[in-house]
Each structure stands twice: as structure tokens, then as C-alpha cells.
């Protein structure tokens, strides 16, 4: 198990694909997918994923450190855990993706495109997740760790998928303990990995944006120490025991509109050096595609993930409005 990340990055399958660790069993299920099952009965299941984009390496190194701690017996595992390195081929080449963005293909969207590396991977990960949640504990979490190329006024933040019921306080508080300074709440379903696990399996899911995207070997992992510590505490104790009476600290936003590249004439009127969560005033032109124009609709909206280079039909940015904290 201690060679899981190294073997995945090398494109190899280990000679031994199952075994015993301190207090748990482990099994290599697929390239970049391993399951850890505690010997004792547990009521909590967790997907820990990273490397959905191959140029976002720090979360992979964080996962490697957490796995090392489990293997040494530093953490007494109390979750049934599925560890996923999302896009092994992209990680091996250091590219965001090979053919198309894996994090837009979940929920069966892969079936609508020409077969390719990412489509096959999305289909496989959907099957693996379905098998995991069909035979695991009833409390379901999914933490999908990323880093970003673009700077941000909130260096660490979480993006939460659309959900019809209230988010449990334990989940949001843990995200804050993990160092997230802002939480963004989607209002409609999408094609991300976390949308998939939330929509189809009612998992408490979050896309965690943890800082700057850097190549392997160039990450200052001390920057991620808060998140790494919180993961260790979560795996060893569970969410409920971690909650002291703490005041909410994250600023909260909801998605107010999506900027979509609708055609070849699409122009995004947001400068390339704009950082995430930059505010824009009502009436400002954000994007246009011929006669179709999108402007800021509320008094103030904040931009997230602006990218004019996406393929036609995909998201070129999100606009947010600030909302009160659910438990403020």
C-alpha cells in the first residue's frame, strides 16, 4: 500500500494487490484506486480523491503523506475509505488532461462524447464509486482535492454541489477546520466528480481548492499542513468528535449565473490576470457571443474560475453572490 502513489504514477500494477495494514485491510482495485477497510465495524464511508486534473499535484502528495501515516499506524482508521487518483495518465504527463476535462464528464456525460482516455476513466470511476457505496457504511463523504492555476482572494475554498436539503453542520465545520476560507454553494447539478457522488449517492461532497498548482517536487507542503492535519484527525476520530463549539469562519457564496462558451465568437470580458472572487458591479459586461451578452445582474457579483479557452458548450466562469453562513 505504501507504493500506491508511486506505482500509479509509473503506470504499474503492484505484484501484491491486497494485504493487511495496522487495523485495516487494503485492496488495489484499479489503476489509481485503493480501498481501505477497518477490521472493526464502522458507520462512516469516505472517498478521498485527488489528481482529477493531472497538473494539480499537491493534493496527490498530501494523500501520499496520509497513506504513509495510516501505514505506520499513526492513525487508527475509523472510516471505510476509497482513495482515488483521478487521472493517472494526465498525472504521468503533468497535463491537466489528455483529451478533455475529466471533471466535466460525470453523471454519464462521458457517453455523449467520442470515446477517449477521460471518457473511459469517468465511466470506470462511476462504476468503482457505485460498487463502493453499494457495500459500505451509511454515512457518506467525498472530499475531492484540487489546486488552481489562477490566484484567489480566498486561497483555500470549497465548492459544494447542489443539494435539496440543508448541509449538516458537522460537514461544513470540518471544511473550516481543514482551512477553507470560503464555501461556494452550487444551485444546479453539473458534471464534476463531487456533483456525481452527491446527486447519485447522497454523499456529502466538496471540491476543495487548496492553493497553487505546481509540478511534482515543487510544492511547499507546509502550506497544506492545516488540511493534512485535519484529514488525519478526521480519519482517526470521525466528524462528530472533532466539533467543539466553534463560530463559523468561512465566507459563503452561491452561484448566481454561469458563463458558458456558446459558440466560436465567444468573448470573455474578464482580464486574464483576474483572481478568483474578484468583485464586479451591476451592469458590467462579462461575456458575449454575437448578439448574446451576459452582464452582472446583482449589485455585486464575484467571479470564479474564469477561463475563455474552454471548449464550446463548457463553463467559462461562474458568478457568485455572497450569502449568510448557514450556521452563522
Complete DSSP assignment for 222-262: GGGHHHHHHHHHHHHH-SGGG--S-----EEEEEEEEEE--
Is 56 annotated to bind ligand?
yes
Does the pTM of the predicted model rise above 0.75? yes
Q: Which CATH class is domain 258-323?
A: mainly beta
Please list the residue range(s) of the chain that carry CATH number 2.40.50.630: 258-323
Strand order in the sheet with 285-289: 266-268, 285-289, 292-295
CA distance 97 to 134: 29
Are 78 and 235 in contact, with CB atoms under 8 Å apart?
yes
CA distance 38 to 208: 25
pLDDT, position 1 = 52
Tens place of pLDDT per residue across the chain (328 aa): 558 898 999 989 888 999 999 999 999 999 999 999 999 999 999 999 999 999 999 999 999 999 999 999 999 999 999 999 999 999 999 999 999 999 999 999 999 998 889 999 999 999 999 999 997 778 999 999 999 888 999 999 999 999 999 999 999 999 999 999 999 999 999 999 999 999 999 999 999 999 888 888 888 888 899 999 999 999 998 776 666 556 778 999 999 999 999 888 899 999 999 999 999 999 999 999 887 899 999 999 999 999 988 888 888 999 999 999 998 7
Look up 209 and say whether it is catalytic. Answer: yes
Is 146 annotated to bind ligand?
yes
Among the listed residues 114, 209, 264, 322, the single catalytic one is 209
Are 248 and 325 in contact, with CB atoms under 8 Å apart?
yes
Helix H or strand E encompassing 51: none
- Beta-bridged to residue 185, according to DSSP, are 160, 254
Q: From the options 3.30.930.10, 3.30.230.10, 3.40.630.10, 2.160.10.10, give the CATH code of 4-242.
A: 3.40.630.10
In this structure, what DSSP letter does residue 168 have? P
For residue 69, report the phi and psi dihedrals to the nearest 5 degrees: -65, -40
Please list the residue range(s) of the chain that carry CATH number 3.40.630.10: 4-242
Is 142 annotated to bind ligand?
no
Amino acid at each position: 500500500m505504501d507504493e500506491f502513489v508511486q506505482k500509479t504514477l509509473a503506470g504499474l500494477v503492484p505484484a501484491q494487490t491486497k494485504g493487511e495494514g495496522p487495523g485495516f485491510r487494503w485492496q488495489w482495485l484499479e489503476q489509481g484506486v485503493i480501498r481501505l477497510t477497518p477490521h472493526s465495524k464502522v458507520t462512516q464511508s469516505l472517498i478521498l480523491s485527488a489528481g482529477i486534473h493531472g497538473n494539480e499535484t499537491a493534493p496527490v502528495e498530501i494523500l501520499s503523506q496520509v497513506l504513509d501515516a495510516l501505514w505506520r499506524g499513526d492513525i487508527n482508521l475509523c472510516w471505510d475509505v476509497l482513495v482515488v487518483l483521478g487521472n493517472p495518465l494526465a498525472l504521468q504527463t503533468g497535463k491537466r488532461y489528455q483529451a478533455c476535462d475529466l471533471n466535466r464528464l460525470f453523471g454519464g456525460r462521458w457517453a455523449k462524447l467520442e470515446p477517449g482516455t477521460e471518457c473511459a476513466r469517468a465511466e470506470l470511476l462511476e462504476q468503482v464509486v457505485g460498487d463502493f457505496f453499494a457495500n459500505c457504511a451509511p454515512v457518506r463523504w467525498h472530499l475531492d482535492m484540487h489546486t488552481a492555476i489562477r490566484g484567489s482572494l480566498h486561497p483555500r475554498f470549497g465548492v459544494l454541489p447542489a443539494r435539496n436539503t440543508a448541509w449538516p453542520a458537522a460537514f461544513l465545520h470540518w471544511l473550516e477546520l481543514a482551512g477553507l476560507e470560503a464555501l461556494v454553494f452550487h444551485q444546479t447539478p453539473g458534471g464534476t466528480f463531487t456533483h456525481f457522488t452527491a446527486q447519485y449517492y447522497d454523499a456529502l461532497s466538496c471540491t476543495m481548492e487548496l492553493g497553487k498548482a505546481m509540478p511534482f517536487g515543487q510544492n511547499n507542503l507546509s502550506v497544506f499542513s492545516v488540511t493534512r492535519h485535519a484529514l488525519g484527525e478526521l480519519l482517526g476520530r470521525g466528524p462528530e468528535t472533532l466539533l467543539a463549539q466553534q463560530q463559523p469562519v468561512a465566507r459563503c457564496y452561491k452561484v448566481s449565473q454561469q458563463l458558458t462558451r456558446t459558440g466560436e465568437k465567444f468573448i470573455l470580458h474578464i482580464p486574464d490576470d483576474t483572481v478568483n472572487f474578484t468583485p464586479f458591479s451591476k451592469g458590467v459586461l462579462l461575456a458575449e457571443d454575437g448578439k448574446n451578452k451576459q452582464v452582472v445582474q446583482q449589485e455585486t457579483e464575484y467571479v470564479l474560475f474564469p477561463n475563455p479557452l474552454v471548449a464550446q458548450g463548457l463553463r467559462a466562469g461562474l458568478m457568485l453572490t455572497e450569502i449568510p453562513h448557514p450556521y452563522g
